[in-house]
Amino acid sequence: MTISILMPALSPTMTEGKLAKWHVKEGDAVKAGQVLCEIETDKATMEVEAVDEGTIGRILIAEGTENVAVNTPIAILLEEGEDASAIKDTGGEAPPAKPAEKKPEAKPEPAKAEAPKAEAKPPAPKQEAASAPAAPKTADGGRIFASPLARRMAEQAGLDLARIKGSGPNGRIVKVDIEAAAKSGQAKAGAAPRPAAAPQAARSREDTVVPHNNVRKVIAKRMTESKQTIPHFYLTVDCRIDALLEARRQLNGKSEKIRVSVNDLIIKACAVALRDYPDVNASWSDEGMVMHGGIDVAVAVATERGLITPIVRDADMKGLAQISSEMRDLAKRAREGKLKLEEFQGGSMTVSNLGMYGIKEFAAIINPPQSCILAVGAGEERIIAVKGQPVVANMMSVTLAVDHRVVDGARGAEWLRSFKGYIERPATMLL
């Protein structure tokens, strides 16, 4: 009996999503746990794995199709011993495909210039060639099959996919193959495959429209809602970070396995300051004030798809080494679109750090339903007065954006004073 593969609900609020990419084609044999496709939700692109074994008999929804409703059949799986004729015999399978095919959809059509670029297959490799080797070739001209994640990892590690043997279905190169090649030190790429021809190509002066992905749409909606409905106010303070930098140096010198960043120390300081002022660890609701039981600090991470905010849970109770390890893992998987729902939904407050870009000071927009976000600027040497004498010190400006419905100005200032104290005397946050 044929099995319908349905559009999964990847979050409690998800009603539809975009079928971003198929990893299988009709006629392919699949095993349980094998990646079938990538679904783009409102926060990330997630891989969907096969639950059953069989053969892909028919793909009902083409990749790139947006607004596919949850529980819509997206493909039909044939069980062992069945062939394509079984699909025709299951009268209930085929009809759902037709409403689904209406989805590719009225929205892209008004801008006709964008539809061929987004969905027509011939132009796609040209677009990708500038950023990643989407379809590398072997020495004899044959195509190399590799997952998108494997391609990205290979590019970042400087590995030549043509020198790597795939262990996935039909010899497909997958994540474990890249990890093994990186450890062995083999398959290092020679000269970069990007020729100088791209910069020399004639530049077109025609405007193009790039369709928004789901993440960008949600960011736009939530940030607009935040600025329109949340009464923001902002508090800025300068922190002297000489002691913080020295503490970090000592921690990182203790063991090669420990690599604590300034951001890790900021996460810890935020968490213990929230513990000092539990009424700041709250969110607004029409029914009443939501007082959060856990102290969970979200961190803004820039990805190719947009901004994602993975969360360090119970950050006040974790050591710096654990925070550092968790944050590296969360940031890596955020950029790969591999976060689980519970890893980026919720949170007490958010830390947004643009210091690495040389930004001295900025004000961030609150990420609802949270009530606070801390914008962190760059650490830099400044001349300050100490007991009437000019002194060169490492300083860092931070700006707290606060929801005035939840936190009043005086309480926000007290929280920020507590945070500043932990930053300037880092040993106290370990008590």
Q: Are 296 and 315 in contact (CB under 8 A)?
A: yes
The per-residue pLDDT for 306 is 84
> What is residue 94's predicted lDDT score, i.e. its pLDDT?
39
What is the rounded average pLDDT of the residues 111-119?
Answer: 39
Among residues of the chain, what percentage have pLDDT more than 90? 48
Give the pLDDT score at 201. Answer: 65
Residue 374 or 210, more confident: 374
Decide if 268 contacts 323 (C-beta within 8 A): yes
Q: Identify which of 124-128, 148-152, 237-241 has the greatest average pLDDT.
A: 237-241
Model confidence, pTM = 0.62
pLDDT single digits (tens) 231-274: 999 999 999 999 999 999 999 998 888 899 999 999 999 999 99
Share of the chain above pLDDT 70, in %: 81
Q: How far is CA 155 from the centre of its chain?
A: 18
Q: Are 404 and 232 in contact (CB under 8 A)?
A: yes
CB 45 within 8 A of CB 23: no
* pLDDT over 80 at 426, yes or no: yes
Joined tokens for residue 189: 């790429």
Q: What is the pLDDT of residue 181?
A: 84
3-state SS class at 31: coil
pLDDT tens per residue, range 7-30: 988 776 678 888 989 999 998 999
What is the mean predicted confidence (pLDDT) over 289-303? 95
User: 3-state SS of 362-374?
Assistant: CCCCCCCCCCEEE
Residue pair 410/427 in contact (Cβ under 8 Å)? The answer is no
Question: 193 versus 319: which is more confidently predicted?
Answer: 319
**Residue 198, both tokens:** 């791209």
Please report the pLDDT score of residue 103 as a whole number: 41
Whole-angstrom Cα Rg for the chain: 25
Angle in degrees, 0-180, between the axes of helices 262-276 and 320-336, rounded to the nearest 10: 110
Q: What is the pLDDT of residue 246?
A: 96
For 274-339, the DSSP string reads: HHH-TTTSEE--SSS-EE-SS--EEE-EEETTEEE--EETTGGGS-HHHHHHHHHHHHHHHHHT--
For 347-381, how does the pLDDT look when each residue is reduced to its tens digit (9 = 90+)?
Answer: 999 999 999 999 999 999 999 999 999 999 999 99
Least confident range from 107-111, 213-217, 406-410: namely 107-111
3-class SS at 216?
A: helix
Q: Is the pLDDT of residue 170 over 80?
A: no
DSSP assignment of 81-112, as one string? Answer: T--THHHHH-TTTSTTHHHHHTTT-TTTTTST
Give the model's pLDDT for residue 176: 79
Mean pLDDT of the chain: 82
Give the residue among 19, 57, 58, 23 at the shortest CA–CA distance from 39: 19
Identify the pLDDT of residue 415. 98
Residues noted as catalytic: 404
Helix spans in 135-213 (H)? 148-157, 175-184, 197-200
pLDDT at site 186: 67
Task: Give the residue with greater pLDDT, 396 vs 1.
Answer: 396
Per-residue confidence band for 149, with pLDDT thresholds at 50, 70 and 90? confident
Question: Residue 285: what pLDDT?
Answer: 94
Q: What is the pLDDT of residue 119?
A: 41
Give the DSSP letter of residue 425: S
